[in-house]
Amino acid sequence: MSFIAKILGTGAAATIDAVGNAIDRIDTSEEKLELQLKYKQLLLDVEGKYLDYEGKLLDAQKDIITTEAKGESWFQRNWRPLLMLVCIFIVLNNYVLVPYFNIPSAVLDEHIWRLIEVGTGGYIAGRSLEKITDKLAPVLANTKKQK
């Protein structure tokens, strides 16, 4: 049920668990088996739609990165690595250079640190997705064919 909780939230997962528990309490075995089958099929359909969505999202992200990489402008092709270099410099400055040389440091707003966290996480995730997209695409295509 963690899959349902992941995509719909814990409240929806608890409701779906309650439906499953209600099905288990039905006395007539034919009705129970029929409802259990429908319940399992519904869960599989939701999971399949979620995987379709994830596949489309990966394709869209891949297209964006590919378009940027093939861009005519030098800046368009290199803005992500440059941004990462700026983030690395900020961290290096505040946590290595300033303490080592015992110089006064500039206090950065909390929003800047949050931006660095999100940017770094997005960059790492984007690069990881870019590297696994070719391997993941056939798996998602096979999932669609099995339906």
Task: Name the domain count of the chain.
Answer: 1
- Cβ neighbors of 8 (< 8 A, separation 6 or more) are 16
CA distances from 119 to 92, 104, 125 (A): 16, 26, 10
pLDDT above 70 (res 109): yes
pLDDT above 50 (res 1): no
Q: What percent of the chain has pLDDT over 70?
A: 76
Q: For residue 19, which phi and psi values (nearest 5 degrees)?
A: -65, -45
Quick check: 1 and 13 in contact, CB under 8 A?
yes
Nearest CA among 136, 122, 115, 118 for reference residue 59 = 136
* Helices of type H across the chain: 2-8, 10-24, 29-69, 74-92, 98-101, 110-145
Q: How confident is the model at residue 131 (pLDDT cuts 50, 70, 90)?
A: confident
Q: For residue 103, which phi and psi values (nearest 5 degrees)?
A: -105, 155
Range of the domain at 50: 2-145
Per the model's pLDDT, the better-predicted residue between 140 and 108 turns out to be 108
**31: alpha, beta or left? (left if phi > 0; alpha if psi -120 to 50):** alpha
Mean of all residue pLDDT scores within the chain = 77
- Cβ neighbors of 40 (< 8 A, separation 6 or more) are none
3-state secondary structure of 105: coil
